[in-house]
Chains A and B, each alone.
Chain A
Amino acid sequence: MTDPEKQMSDPKSLDIDHIATLARIALTAEEKARFSDQLGEVLAHIEQLKEVEIAGVEPTAHAFPLFNVWAEDVPQPALPVDVALKSAPARRDNMFVVPKVVE
């Protein structure tokens, strides 16, 4: 832990507006205040991890690493379009209807 960029932040410094924007969730003012407080407590607990000596330790992404899981490159049956669209919030013909994206 020599690189200052890699330090944990002050638990109070979580920029909730920025993070909510990254997460694409519209939060109310009340939610922002409450989540900031609650997550500040959680981050304060997480600070404990700073005590752990991790020099030279490899990260674990999966408990039992599996590499290069290949499948034969042959077409397999897939969901029929009509079934795949069954829970669509809005559809027309065989397409999802979405709000206009370009003018």
Chain B
Amino acid sequence: MATNPNFMNGVPELLILRTLEARDMYGYELVQAIRARTNQAISLGEGVVYPALHALEAGGMLRSRRKLVNGRTRVYYALTAKGTKHLAGLVRHWQHIAHAVALAMGGTAYAAAPL
């Protein structure tokens, strides 16, 4: 049986990929979207989101492009096909964990909630 040495492993990746699933975003926009989406329950260190973005791009999950917006060049990140597939795997994994935790807590209400 697989072990889970660190429950928070993969959380930033999951949040980033899930948020970028809707549309392309640049770093600041992405952090704000994650805060809003998680009702501010999960607040990533704002500057440390970029290493995760760079690593996901290096892994082929995201692609970046520069875009001129209001006279400023922004680096926009977008999900790739590989990233979409990876996200589906992460979602399944997290739903499995959420379900297990909900069972341990004596109910299944939490597990049913979508991400």
Do A and B interact with each other, yes or no? no
Binding site for A on B (CB under 8 A): none
